[in-house]
Structure 1
Amino acid sequence: MFEGDFKNKTEVPIADKKYADFVEFLLCIHPSTCKPVQRETLDIVLPLADEYEVESLMQRCEQFVLNLFQLKDAQRSDPSNVELVHFLYLSDKYKLGALLDACVIKAKYRTYENGIKTLREFNLLSADTKFRVLSGRTSLLEVTSTDVQMFKKRLDHIVKPECNACNDPGWKHSSSGCRVQLKSDLLTYFDKLTSYFREDPRYVKVSEGRKLAVKQAK
């Protein structure tokens, strides 16, 4: 725009833009300010960066959300379903590849029928992105099924423990039939299953199931 017709004009009309939004956009790209992208301004500057093809600002928007994910992971928290689907929608709409990958990974762990599927922006996603989320959920079911079968075999050893360490403190707990080792493995396994469901309304029920399983393992 600035290299073409603008040379012969004193101004470029932008009647369809809000003044405050465009000022925020300019502050983010002007060398003298280069204002950081913030959560409150992400939805303002990203569409403008896409419209005016400011690739550097689009990358900064993408990196901002990725950094937000890293911060939440470090704090052992997750974005809500609404926020996650919103980021998924933005990454899908504006072709932000790295962010889309990160959102799909998180979305596949969320409740689907009574969760993310009910959100308006999820239904605005492209067919390819919806497929990726559902495909990821299917692979999780396959892994979970395999793990459950493995633990069912392990639980058979509870009736007749084979680990000498359970009776002799001098032994190391390493046998597959060891109650102590089984308890530790169960805790790790259930943590894995529930770690991504903190925003899921059914997470409490999952946690209660975990406590019951651990109690039985004891």
Structure 2
Amino acid sequence: MSVGPTINIYESVFAQTDKTDAILVVQGKKLHVNKALLSCHSDYFDTLFNGDFKEKSMQEIPINNVKFQDFATLLSLVHPNPIKPTEQNAEKLLELADRFLLSAAKYHLEYFIISTNFTANKKLELAGTYDLENLLVHVLKSFKTKEELVPTKRFSGFSANMKAKILDRQIELNKVVRDRNPWRSEFSESFTDRNTEIPKYYYRAERNNNEAKYSSQSRGDMGCRPS
């Protein structure tokens, strides 16, 4: 009994059915897709399939500069049976979701990344780079001190909204420090006052004592005695 060729998970998800009506070719491998489904989820594919371009009439449309496994995983995220992303390819998939304008795939990836073991700084970087607000809210809560939430050069590329949320969290953390140690600033101010005022008082008192001592000695030299 002969054994047929093994069908991998990617070929299984994108096998030809009566619902597929287009073929995308990546690295020589075919993905059978539904035009309406992809067009609904992505302006990129809506233009590709329905715009005035040569691809509209092509039976097989090549997709370049992308790996087959990554692209298939990305497209599967808007299908009924998605291929689960991994910590190894999640960042690449976010990049591709941006490139192919698949916001639904980004949403799926955002919640996957929340559940990963990525460091807080890595999650913050991804949230800011790909404008993932839910991920940002999640990761900002993990910063417990203002020293942990230190801006890096990557922050400069974040949207104004993302920067504002990070700043709000920094302000909250500063307030937490003040609320937990309300005496610190007062003590610091009082200590500063003592450092500035006590020496003045000390020198003033010492000067008065010296003047009194000199006056007493002068009276003694003149034969004066206190009554």
Which structure is larger by alpha-carbon Rg, 1 or 2?
Answer: 2
Q: Which has the higher strand share?
A: 2
Normalised to the residue count of structure 2, the TM-score between the two structures is: 0.47
Normalised to the residue count of structure 1, the TM-score between the two structures is: 0.49
Query: Relative contact order (C-alpha < 8 Å, sep 6+): which is higher?
Result: 1
Q: Which has the higher helix share?
A: 1
